[in-house]
Amino acid sequence: MADLKARTDISFAEVFLCSAFAACFAEFCTIPLDTAKVRLQLQRKTTSTDGVIVPKYGGLLGTIATIAREEGLSALWKGIGAGLHRQFIYGGLRIGLYEPVKKILVGDDFVGDIHLYHKILAALLTGALAIMVANPTDLVKVRLQAEGKLPAGVPKRYSGALDAYLTIVRQEGLRALWTGLGPNIVRNAIINAAELASYDEVKQIILQIPGFMDNVFTHLLAGLGAGFFAVCIGSPIDVVKSRMMGDSTYKSTLDCFIRTLKNEGFFAFYKGFLPNFSRLGSWNVVMFLTLEQAKKLVRGEVFYD
């Protein structure tokens, strides 16, 4: 039961901080799955001397095991600094702005359930705006995750997140921090719509079913639904984004798409689907559960019984 003195609303700044905290917590918990996903997406077909294709990484668990064995357990958290930077800015903005933008779209006098298309449009707008600000953090995160174990005597490109920012600016220019912005805007706008709008809609539908309440089980189901829709819709864009950020040889988004399709086929765009779903599914569950609790705490309500 909620406290009778609980607040009915919280400010944008409070929502931003709750969202940023929830996103950062989910990022820390699930980044090993994201690292495995990035490695699988960047992996290309290789042929041995006898003509047999021998991929280095195979599957979610195999990729995690290979990275841990060859590079150490800490390698699974490569890019965590930039990942937390990204989630604080991107997560805070995209989630924090979602409700205000929805209200702008439907008007202050609107009463009743907001239509799904308004939810989708609001999430598209907030996802695009947030990643325009946070793109440098996303780029650095992918660059750090893409680095494997180097041969003896070969120095690493970056010693950490801050060094990566400075090195990229020094060697490639300030604009390089926004490499892959095009596909990243498309990818994050679409995935944000799939996550926030689907979570909002699924939660609303579940709460209309007799016996269901606004509790942990409902948030769990809605979070899993959000993760599933996000991966199915956003995986091809995610692969292109990871490849453009991890490899500077591509001339454009279209060039990356065509070369990947020509050389590896359509299913290359769904490389790392299982780790991507495992990561996004678990990420959404952790993030939304944490977010709901953080907002309850700020309002003065009790936690789950």
Q: Mean pLDDT of successive 10-residue segments in the chain (305 residues)?
A: 53 93 94 82 63 71 88 87 90 94 88 89 96 92 75 76 92 92 86 92 92 90 88 81 76 87 88 76 91 90 57
H or E segment and range at residue 7: none
* Residue 50 amino acid letter: D
Q: Are 193 and 204 in contact (CB under 8 A)?
A: no
| ∠ Cα 47 53 56 (to 5°) | 95
pLDDT of residue 51: 60
pLDDT of residue 5: 47
Per DSSP, helices labelled H in the chain are: 12-42, 60-71, 80-86, 92-96, 98-106, 116-146, 161-172, 181-192, 198-207, 216-246, 253-264, 273-299
> Domain-by-domain residue ranges, the chain?
10-78+274-298, 79-179, 180-264
**108/120 Cα distance (integer angstroms):** 18
Q: Are 297 and 4 in contact (CB under 8 A)?
A: no
pLDDT of residue 2: 39
pLDDT of residue 305: 46
pLDDT of residue 151: 65
CA 227 to chain centre: 10
**153/167 Cα distance (integer angstroms):** 20
Residue 173 φ/ψ region, left for φ over 0, alpha for ψ in the -120 to 50 degree band, beta for the rest: left
Q: Half-sphere exposure of 106 toward its Cβ, with a 13 Å CA cutoff?
A: 20
pLDDT of residue 87: 92
